[in-house]
Structure 1
Amino acid sequence: MVHLNRDNEFEPRIYGFTSTASAVLTHLICIVFSVFIALLSRPGTSLFSWHPFFMTLAFSFFMTEAILLFSPHGSPIKRFPHKTKGRVHWILQCLCLSCAVLGLAAIAYNKHLNGKPHFTSWHGLLGLLTVCVVGLQSLAAVPLIYHSLAKGWSLAKLKRYHAASGLVTYLLGSISLLLGLCSAWFTASVREHTWYLSALCPALSALIIMNQVTSAYMAKKRLQS
């Protein structure tokens, strides 16, 4: 019986440690990756340079940090009430959208000046789709803050739909970043081993975020059942 009790205590500790380590790792990844792209693109040196800078800031930093706010093991404002986390989350998402729009405008105007066609690659098409989805996701979050706007919808159902659509949005952003790393600009700027390390950043972050969101959802389902 004592042995079983020790096992029951040991497993949650291991889970808590790995979850905390994963969250801390994700914080580090999104910061290091964003700084690396900023140093590589040198924003301000050209019109194009603002595109990778703003897009990385949007999808690697702001969006990741916005989701990590709700992590029970890695939130920087873990002790704050859920309502406060929701407001900060929405602010970060608005910053994400603002950066994404600026990054989209930079590349669109750069192509216009150089007489190049717009949205001819998978990176361009998916990037445009992702920016539009982020905008819709931010607007759809308003009823979560002001629940009186969502007549006939329960707050629990709205949160569930928002979490599911938010995860899809984050995965779209991560794929857009990965496709951006396949661009001629990035592949010509880094060596092969640096490319693989760079590609690992959004891929690993996406896996950890996906695990956080799905784990939180499954935990709620178990409590309700």
Structure 2
Amino acid sequence: MMASTAVTTVAHMALASATMAAVFVFCDGSLFGYHPAALALGFVFLMGEGVIAAAVGKGRQRPLWINIHALLQGLAGAAVAGGITAIYLNKERLGKPHFATLHSRLGLAALALFLGIAMGGAVVKYLPGMGVVEMARRAHKQFGAVAFFMGVAVCINGLRLTNPASPVYKGTLSMAVGGLLLLAAAAVLLQLLLAPSSGPKMTKGRRAPKAD
């Protein structure tokens, strides 16, 4: 338990550090600058914190943590939408084509996956009587983690670390942001691996007789 708590603390710090670094390096007040800042806020910090909330919320407090998880993911979606709007408007202003790069296509795929997971989460939360709820719960958990790591990958890809000639590339600063993003992803992965089960599952069979 102590190890899990320490990992949770490290994960919080790593997510915050990576996001603040991205905002500091890229958010220069230009329309384009809001794109990486908003995506880091949404895909990395808010989505990562949402994943952690769902992982650590156990026992009687789990309903509260699930509500926090849902709120964080909703805010993450809003931030990502804002970031995509910023880059869309910027490309319109410059007359550049939309979704013409690997980065933009990966981002679109990550957003589509996020929206699908959000709908699955709504099924789990608000339609618990449906027969597919257990399958939906497992899929929501597993693909939710995939969406987070995919979002981090989109952010790292956008740093253009392999293309120093790109105007987006900021040299050592870009490499530092990339390193912090990798650290954040690793910390969340470790948190997921150490997270205890959400509780005993119901098994089929007769109930134990009550004591007289």
Distance 2:109 2:184 in 1: 20
Q: 2:183 maps to which residue?
A: 204
- Residue 85 to residue 211, structure 1, CA distance change in 2 (3 Å): same
- 1:163–1:213 CA contact under 8 A, matched in 2: no
Answer yes or no: is the 8 Å Cα contact 1:87–1:145 preserved in 2.
Answer: no
Given that residues 37 and 52 in structure 1 are in contact (C-alpha distance below 8 angstroms), is that contact kept between their aligned partners in structure 2?
Answer: yes
Aligned length: 199
Which TM-score applies when normalising by structure 2? 0.81
Q: CA offsets, 1:56-113, max 9 Å, x none?
A: 11011100111111344xx7xx787111111111111111111111111110111111
Aligned residue for 1:46, secondary structure, equals coil
Comparing both chains, which one has the higher relative contact order based on Cα–Cα distances under 8 Å and sequence gaps of 6 or more?
2
Task: Name the CA distance, whole Å, in 2 between partners of 1:222 and 1:216.
Answer: 14
**CA–CA distance in structure 2, aligned partners of residues 50 and 119 of structure 1:** 18
Q: Hey, what's the Cα distance between the residues in 1 that align with 2:135 and 2:193?
A: 15
From 83, 86, 89, the counterpart of 2:63 = 83
Q: Structure 1: 5+ residue runs without aligned partners? A: 1-15
Corresponding residue number in structure 1 for 2:104: 124
Distance verdict in 2 for CA 1:33–1:185, change over 3 Å: farther
- Alignment CA distance shift 1:141-1:185 (3 Å): farther
SS at match of 1:95: helix
Deviating runs (4+, > 3 A) in structure 1?
A: 214-217, 219-225
Q: Structure 1-normalised TM-score?
A: 0.77
Gaps of 5+ in 2: 204-212
Aligned pairs for 1:138-217 (under 5 A) are: 138-148=118-128, 151-154=130-133, 156-182=134-160, 184-187=166-169, 189=170, 191-192=171-172, 194-216=173-195
Counterpart CA distance in 1 for 2:184 and 2:202 is 29
User: Which protein has the bigger helix share?
Assistant: 1
What is the CA RMSD across the aligned residues, in angstroms?
A: 2.7
Equivalent position of 1:69 in the other structure: 53
